[in-house]
């Protein structure tokens, strides 16, 4: 993990100096898919300030958990049907209200009730557990997003 983080730092430094990424956007996407959520968010934020053009190009190819807010409802419904309810409950413990509402609108009333009960029943969770659930959910969301692209 430390090697990946070091390579990401080197890539961002090269991007800032040259305006291009060694290995291209695809290499950056592959690396972002392998780092933890906190590193991912930090790198994306840094990239947006240091190289907005590359950040925009990256956003067309890279999908993170928060991007589910932009998914088409039909696609989101299909993706949600494949994500285990416990994973969803954990993932949404760390999600903001807008993301939760988007998901709740795309689930049946019964599924929303069960999901809310699960979230309440499991109580507070460590950040690492929530982030792992978000990563797991993102894998499915990303696959369904790519179906429509």
Query: Would you state the pLDDT for residue 14?
Result: 63
Q: What is the pLDDT of residue 55?
A: 82
Residues 6+ apart with CB under 8 A from 85: 111, 114, 115, 118
pLDDT at 15: 58
- What does the pLDDT read at residue 62? 84
DSSP letters of the chain?
-HHHHHHHHHHHHHHHHHSS-TTHHHHHHHHHTTS-HHHHHHHHHHHHHH-HHHHHHHHHH---GGGGGGS-HHHHHHHHHHS-HHHHHHHHHTS-HHHHHHHHHTS-HHHHHHHHHHHHHH----HHHHHHHHHHHHHHHHHHHHHH-
In a shared domain, residues 91 and 136 = yes
Predicted pLDDT of residue 81:
94
Q: Identify whether residues 74 and 142 lie together within a single domain.
A: yes
Q: Assess whether 75 and 141 both reside in one domain.
A: yes
Question: Domain count of the chain?
Answer: 2
Report the CATH number that the domain containing residue 119 is assigned in CATH. Answer: 1.10.220.30
Question: Do 41 and 111 belong together in one domain?
Answer: no
27 and 13: one domain?
yes
The last residue of a domain, from among 15, 38, 62:
62
pLDDT at residue 18, as a whole number: 53
Question: Which residue range(s) make up the domain with 104?
Answer: 66-148
Residue by residue, pLDDT tens for the chain (149 residues) are 666 667 666 766 665 555 554 567 888 888 887 787 788 888 888 888 888 888 888 877 888 898 899 899 999 999 999 999 999 999 998 799 999 999 999 999 999 999 999 999 999 999 999 999 999 999 899 888 877 65
- Tell me, yes or no, whether 104 and 133 share the same domain: yes
């Amino acid at each position: 993990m430390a090697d990946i983080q070091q390579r990401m730092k080197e890539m961002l430094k090269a991007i800032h100096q040259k305006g291009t990424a060694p290995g291209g956007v695809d290499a950056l996407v592959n690396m972002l898919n392998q780092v933890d959520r906190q590193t991912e968010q930090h790198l994306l934020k840094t990239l947006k300030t240091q190289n907005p053009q590359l950040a925009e190009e990256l956003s067309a190819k890279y999908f993170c958990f928060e991007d589910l807010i932009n998914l088409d409802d039909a696609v989101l419904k299909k993706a949600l049907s494949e994500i285990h309810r416990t994973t969803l409950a954990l993932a949404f413990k760390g999600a903001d209200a807008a993301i939760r509402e988007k998901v709740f609108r795309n689930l049946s009333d019964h599924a929303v009730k069960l999901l809310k009960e699960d979230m309440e029943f499991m109580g507070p969770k460590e950040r690492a557990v929530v982030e792992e659930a978000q990563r797991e959910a993102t894998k499915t969301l990303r696959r369904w997003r790519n179906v429509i692209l």
